[in-house]
Amino acid sequence: MISQLEKEVTLRYLNTRKKDGFLNIISIFSFIGISLGVAVLIIVMSVMNGFRTELIEKIIGFNPHVVIKPYEKSINENLFDNKDLNSLSNTFVYSNSGEAVLINKNYTKGLLLRGYLPDDFKKLSIVKSDKFNGNKKIIPKFISIGKELSFSYDIKIGDKVLIMSPTGVQTIVGNLPRQETYIVDSIFDSEIADFDQNVAFINLSDLESLFDLETSKRNLEIYLKNPKNIEINKKKLEKIFKNYYVYTWSDLNKSLFSALKVERNVMFIILSLIIIVAAFNIISGLTILVKNKTREIAILKSIGVQNKSIAKIFFMVGFLIGTLATLSGIILGILFSFYIENIREFLSNTFNISLFPEEIYFLSNLPSEINFYSILIIAISSILVTIIVSIYPAIKASKMNTVTALKYE
């Protein structure tokens, strides 16, 4: 419990007077340092969380959530009636893929071709998007390409392109790569330039003919109701499809998301040092406060105030500075994170600079996701550091010798 005397003395020491000018400056800088450290940490964590979420949304909006790949035998369609499978998935479609070369006028371009049946193709999220232009059924001898590929090579809907497969066809002059001409029937926009440049869709029968693939080797793409909870869903699907190879969107992008996770953790550690450095100012401030209040401490002890009360008073001074600074930092960080895109636009327009190039980050705006669990961890960490640095000056004040202090004061 905190007594009324301890509260009053603590508040008096927090309200420094003119003769304590230097002490006041240290307290202010401690407060500002911790506030800015907490705010910057919240802003950076929010932007990185937002970036990760946006990236996941775009990846799972373009790629299949789970792919079931047969080893030898084709996928058993009786498994489609499995209750667990239907509770997990929205839809599942057959597909296959292969790497080919697009030849258009004087240009050549490597492509990943993905094949779908006409009715399955229109079930894809990328096809349902408002940014998809053209026929939503992928019929034989037609191809769907990305927006970036269309711009880069000046290909429009209705143009013809030549696709060359690495699979050879035997002729009288030897083994030559198989080539087919396709008409561009639609253009999609995944909002990720890398996908738009390097992926195209064709009819599944055309793809199997182009790459000489067997229908029994078709993959099954599963689109989940909750694709973000991928690890748990993968384990359930592995039990259902025991004799098949199961991989997910997370497996395909593991290195990217591992790098993002490492970067986020490193940024948390680095930016936490700002809070720690600012918190050490509290030690300086409290040590000077103890020195300035030597006489008052001696008087308090002489009238019967116990050592633990003296320690509690100085501890509360440091604790209150750190806690109030943390709270102000949280408010500042949340406000900045909430309006960060408006701030980015203002700075970009004012100084005519690009603060967030779309071609580098794949995103057209600066994302921000305020995670209250992260804010709680930051707040606890900041207050914990404050508590630790406030202990030493408080103990030092409580151990002061009353007789010696009064003698020299």
CA trace torsion 397, 399, 402, 404 (10° rounding):
-100
Q: What is the pLDDT of residues 347-366, one digit of tens each?
A: 777 777 666 655 555 555 67
pLDDT at 7 over 80: no
Helices 372-398/254-292 angle, 10° precision: 30
Does residue 221 sit in the same domain as residue 316? no
Q: What is the pLDDT of residues 200-255, one digit of tens each?
A: 999 999 999 888 888 888 999 999 888 888 888 888 888 888 889 999 888 888 88
Buried b (16+ CB within 10 A) or exposed e, 232-259: ebbeebeebbeebebebbbeebeeeeee
- SS3 label, residue 113: strand
Does residue 321 sit in the same domain as residue 188? no
Structural domain span for residue 334: 4-56+257-408
Does residue 296 sit in the same domain as residue 160? no
Burial class (CB in 10 A: 0-12, 13-18, 19+), 116: buried
pLDDT at 116 over 90: yes
In a domain, 200, yes or no: yes
How would DSSP label each residue in 194-257? HHHHHEEEEEHHHHHHHTT--GGG-EEEEEESSTTSHHHHHHHHHHHSTTEEEEEHHHHTHHHH
pLDDT at 205: 92
Beta-sheet strands, E only, within 332-381 = none
Q: What is the pLDDT of residues 157-204, one digit of tens each?
A: 999 999 988 876 665 555 677 888 999 999 999 888 888 889 999 999
Does residue 23 sit in the same domain as residue 82? no
Does residue 47 sit in the same domain as residue 76? no
Q: What is the pLDDT of residues 42-61, one digit of tens each?
A: 888 888 888 888 888 888 88
Overall pTM surpassing 0.75 (yes/no): no
pLDDT at 359: 53
> Among residues 226, 242, 271, which one ends one of the domains?
226
Tell me how many domains the chain contains: 2
> Among residues 178, 208, 226, which one ends one of the domains?
226
Rounded CA separation 260/390 (Å): 35
Q: What is the DSSP letter of 302?
A: H
Does residue 173 sit in the same domain as residue 217? yes
pLDDT at 199: 92
Burial class (CB in 10 A: 0-12, 13-18, 19+), 198: middle
pLDDT at 356: 61
